[in-house]
């Protein structure tokens, strides 16, 4: 299976972002003829104020981003893993950060709503409060394509190994992670985490990111890390984007998956841990332990 990743530089401009996405999708189809196209997180909208973000959210199905992708998938007979779209929910004040998957007939296969929301203060003091506008998803989603099982995650999910352990228990072969990693955290953690997830769960890891600067609230400029990459189940980076907007393409090799899993049969060795014996000293409230110390 051939996969193409679309690295974008989305802005608070829905029309401009959708035009950029469609141009790059068509370019990837013409150049590489992939089986699966992957877009980054927030490909339809990035930055702006919290209120602008909520106003930019669209309907799924029926919204502008949704219909553009459905048309491209159907016309070119290609699967699309639509990074994430801002999903409006009727009657709710918050939105969802949602991946939508289309098959090569332009039919929606399913969707995944981001579970772990990015509420941190970065090393430079800039605050990110995704939960102010986005509601948390609750369910995992796995789909099948060309004989492979593909699991879904989005951006900040990358840091939570239990999510990927749950996907591995569902025997996924590929994990697709659209992202908009910050430059500050990305330069230290992005590659390490992507390769680690591929190694520990013996899956291809397909990580498609935003790159470059964008306009945030109050005219503030923030930057994405980019470096979209595909890691094989041995943790080797088989494709990586350079700086800039662009496309990378690589093959997902079922034989490579089989060879790695035979060499180190982690699936057969993985154990559940239903019980944990706790030292009595740790069986008291943390405040009591602190006082005792």
φ, ψ (nearest 5 deg) of residue 242: -85, 180
- Cα separations in angstroms, 195 against 27, 95, 205, 212, 219: 28, 31, 8, 22, 35
The catalytic residue among 87, 114, 130, 231 is: 114
The confidence score (pLDDT) of residue 292 equals 44
The confidence score (pLDDT) of residue 79 equals 98
The confidence score (pLDDT) of residue 282 equals 59
**CA pair distance 214, 178, nearest whole angstrom:** 17
Domain count for the chain: 1
The confidence score (pLDDT) of residue 47 equals 87
Q: Look up 107 and say whether it is catalytic.
A: no
Question: CATH no. for residue 8?
Answer: 3.60.110.10
Assign 231 to helix, strand or coil.
strand
The catalytic residue among 41, 87, 152, 208 is: 41
Across the chain, mean pLDDT equals: 92
Q: Are 209 and 177 in contact (CB under 8 A)?
A: no
At 241-290, the pLDDT tens digits run: 989 999 999 999 999 999 999 999 988 888 877 777 777 765 556 555 54
**CA pair distance 157, 106, nearest whole angstrom:** 27
The confidence score (pLDDT) of residue 284 equals 58
The catalytic residue among 53, 130, 152, 155 is: 155
Q: Look up 114 and say whether it is catalytic.
A: yes
Counting as low any pLDDT under 50, the low residues of the chain are 290-293
Q: Look up the domain containing 26 and give its range.
A: 2-292
């Amino acid at each position: 299976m051939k996969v193409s990743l679309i690295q974008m530089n989305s802005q608070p401009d829905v029309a401009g972002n959708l035009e950029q996405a469609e141009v790059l999708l068509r370019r990837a189809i013409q150049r590489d003829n992939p089986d699966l196209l992957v877009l980054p997180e927030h490909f339809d909208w990035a930055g702006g104020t919290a209120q602008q973000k909520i106003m930019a959210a669209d309907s799924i199905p029926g919204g502008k981003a949704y219909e553009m992708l459905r048309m491209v998938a159907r016309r070119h007979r290609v699967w699309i893993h639509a990074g994430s779209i801002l999903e409006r929910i009727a009657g709710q004040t918050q939105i969802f950060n949602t991946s939508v998957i289309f098959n090569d007939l332009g039919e929606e296969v399913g969707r995944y709503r981001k579970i772990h929301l990015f509420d941190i203060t970065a090393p430079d003091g800039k605050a990110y409060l995704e939960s102010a506008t986005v509601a948390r998803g609750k369910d995992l989603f796995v789909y099948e394509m060309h004989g492979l099982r593909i699991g879904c995650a989005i951006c900040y999910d990358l840091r939570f190994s239990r999510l990927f352990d749950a996907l591995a228990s569902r025997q996924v072969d590929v994990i697709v992670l659209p992202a908009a990693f910050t430059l500050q955290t990305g330069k230290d953690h992005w590659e390490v985490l992507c390769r680690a997830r591929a190694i520990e769960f013996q899956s291809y890891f397909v990580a498609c990111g935003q790159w470059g600067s964008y306009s945030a609230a109050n005219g503030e400029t923030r930057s994405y890390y980019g470096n979209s990459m595909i890691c094989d189940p041995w943790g080797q980076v088989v494709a990586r984007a350079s700086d800039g907007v662009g496309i990378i393409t690589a093959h997902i090799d079922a034989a490579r998956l089989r060879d790695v899993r035979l060499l180190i049969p982690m699936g057969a060795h993985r154990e559940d841990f239903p019980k944990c014996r706790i030292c009595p000293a740790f069986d008291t409230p943390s405040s009591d332990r602190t006082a005792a110390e």
